[in-house]
């Protein structure tokens, strides 16, 4: 990767007079929830999406990361929620590859110690890869004193994990699909305080999702309906953007739900093969997911302002104006109690700021 033009300063990191501990920084980033979704890649290596997407950063889903580059280490070490990651494992590799991109920009070879902590559980339908990769990117570039603009940070985060690009700017965000790496980045549509809406994520199942989104993106190309979805997205993006800017909740909600179902229609018609078995599609829903989808429609008929969206998993995200949140939570809890002994975890979020450097050290 070539060094971005607006990378304004590069320290003499090989100067032996400087202390190694100077190359340390911490950052916080929030995960995000897509209102218009990213599903399918135009370029898998560069994480270029087939379409633009629109999202909101989630206040309750934070990753806090500290990165320290050091000559004293022999290989990258990564701690997630105090647990040391296996250097042959998938997550360690993704972190180390992202550090490689940052090292290449700064022209250094020092390895790094990474300490990362999530404020939310993983595997609950909130992408820790988005907040994790955004926080890592901001902390690592700050540690090496790379002075990158928001756009460049968003491009770099995207290379690590597609939706991480949307966790760099603040509030309501659009990721431009672009045509190449430099034109595929995210920017703000409106700041967090623009609109007081709440996301209540209803975690109905603790089990892992049936297919990782990285595989789902590739399988989307197998759906005969992908072309139809993509043809409708330009209008949908315009309506969604306008609805956010106008704080038009009903228009927003209709697009939100239709969009979620459109993604799942693609997933359910993306045929794939596993050793010895053929599958007609990917089914992310559980019976509780469908119960909540149907209940949301009933609640609206009863006067609640609430719409749902779903990512690649069974968790249902219910979005409502902030002043309706207690009524929505009461409705969810009543539905939960219809079946004995079931326990749903609710995670409430409001629009949150983008990724930022912080003084608080996650390594201590």
Token digits of residue 287: 């019976």
Shortest reach from residue 286's CB to ligand PMV, in Å: 16
Among residues 57 and 62, whose Cβ is nearest to ligand PMV?
57
Shortest reach from residue 57's CB to ligand PMV, in Å: 12
* Neighbouring-strand partners of residue 54: 36, 174
Question: Do 362 and 116 form a contact (C-beta atoms < 8 A)?
Answer: yes
Among residues 26 and 63, whose Cβ is nearest to ligand PMV?
63
CA 90 to chain centre: 18
User: For strand 53-70 and strand 24-36, is the pairing parallel, antiparallel, or unpaired?
Assistant: antiparallel
What SS3 class is residue 119? coil
Residue 76 lies near ligand PMV (rule: CB under 6 A): no
# residues near ligand PMV by CB under 6 A = 14
CA–CA distances in Å: residue 18 to residues 14, 21, 70, 109, 112? 8, 9, 12, 16, 17
- Rule CB under 6 A: choose which of 52, 66, 116, 163 binds ligand PMV: 163
Shortest reach from residue 154's CB to ligand PMV, in Å: 13
Among residues 175 and 299, whose Cβ is nearest to ligand PMV?
175
Residue 38 lies near ligand PMV (rule: CB under 6 A): yes
Question: Do 68 and 364 form a contact (C-beta atoms < 8 A)?
Answer: no
- Rule CB under 6 A: choose which of 162, 171, 192, 314 binds ligand PMV: 162
Residue 213 lies near ligand PMV (rule: CB under 6 A): yes
| DSSP single-letter state for residue 193 | G
According to CB under 6 A, which residues from 297 to 356 bind ligand PMV? 311-312
Among residues 53 and 65, whose Cβ is nearest to ligand PMV?
53
Among residues 127 and 347, whose Cβ is nearest to ligand PMV?
127
Residue 34 lies near ligand PMV (rule: CB under 6 A): yes
H/E stretch holding 334: helix 325-336
Shortest reach from residue 53's CB to ligand PMV, in Å: 5
Q: Which of 270, 132, 292, 126 is nearest to 211 (CA)?
A: 270
Shortest reach from residue 345's CB to ligand PMV, in Å: 19
* Neighbouring-strand partners of residue 80: 83, 116
Radius of gyration of the chain (CA): 21
Residue 31 lies near ligand PMV (rule: CB under 6 A): no
Stretch that binds ligand PMV, among 144-152, 161-169, 246-254, 268-276 (CB under 6 A): 161-169
- Rule CB under 6 A: choose which of 43, 119, 188, 214 binds ligand PMV: 214
Shortest reach from residue 162's CB to ligand PMV, in Å: 4
| DSSP single-letter state for residue 58 | E
Among residues 23 and 175, whose Cβ is nearest to ligand PMV?
175
Residue 165 lies near ligand PMV (rule: CB under 6 A): no
Q: Which of 170, 175, 282 is nearest to 223 (CA)?
A: 282
Residue burial 81-101, b: 16+ Cβ < 10 Å; e: rest: eeeebeeeeeebebbbebbeb
Among residues 139 and 310, whose Cβ is nearest to ligand PMV?
310
Shortest reach from residue 131's CB to ligand PMV, in Å: 11
Q: What string of DSSP letters covers 214-259?
A: HHHHHHGGG-TTHHHHHHHHHHHHHHHHHHHHHT-HHHHHHHHHHH
- By the criterion CB under 6 A, which residues form the site for ligand PMV? 34, 37-39, 53, 127, 129, 161-163, 213-214, 311-312
């Amino acid at each position: 990767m070539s060094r971005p033009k607006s990378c304004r300063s590069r320290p003499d990191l090989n100067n032996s007079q400087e202390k190694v501990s100077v190359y340390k920084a911490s950052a916080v980033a929030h995960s995000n929830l897509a209102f218009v979704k990213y599903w399918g890649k135009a370029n898998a290596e560069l994480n270029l999406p087939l379409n633009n997407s629109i999202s909101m950063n989630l206040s309750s889903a934070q990753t806090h990361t500290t990165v320290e580059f050091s000559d004293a280490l022999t290989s990258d070490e990564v701690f997630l929620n105090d647990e040391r990651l296996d250097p042959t494992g998938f997550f360690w590799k993704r972190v180390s590859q992202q550090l490689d991109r940052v090292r290449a920009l700064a022209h250094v070879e020092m390895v790094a110690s990474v300490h990362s902590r999530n404020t939310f559980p993983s595997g609950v339908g909130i992408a820790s890869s988005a907040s994790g990769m955004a926080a890592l990117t901001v902390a690592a570039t700050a540690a090496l004193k790379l002075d990158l603009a928001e756009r460049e940070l968003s491009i770099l985060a995207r290379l690590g994990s597609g939706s991480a690009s949307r966790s760099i700017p603040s509030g309501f965000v659009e990721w431009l699909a672009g045509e190449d790496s430099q034109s595929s980045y995210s920017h703000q549509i409106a700041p967090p305080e623009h609109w007081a809406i709440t996301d209540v994520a209803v975690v109905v199942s603790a089990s892992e999702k049936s297919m990782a989104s990285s595989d789902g993106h590739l399988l989307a190309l197998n759906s005969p309906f992908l072309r139809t979805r993509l043809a409708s997205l330009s209008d949908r993006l315009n309506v969604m953007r306008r609805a956010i800017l106008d704080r038009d909740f009903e228009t927003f909600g209709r697009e939100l739900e239709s969009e979620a179902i459109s993604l799942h229609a693609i997933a359910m018609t993306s045929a794939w093969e596993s050793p010895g078995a053929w599958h007609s599609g990917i089914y992310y829903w559980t019976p509780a997911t469908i119960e909540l989808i149907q209940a949301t429609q009933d609640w609206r008929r009863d006067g609640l302002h609430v719409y749902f969206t779903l990512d690649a998993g069974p968790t249902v995200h219910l979005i409502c104006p902030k002043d309706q949140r207690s009524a929505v939570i009461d409705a969810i809890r009543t539905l939960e109690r219809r079946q004995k002994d079931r326990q749903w975890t609710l995670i409430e979020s409001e629009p949150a700021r983008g990724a930022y450097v912080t003084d608080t050290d996650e390594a201590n």
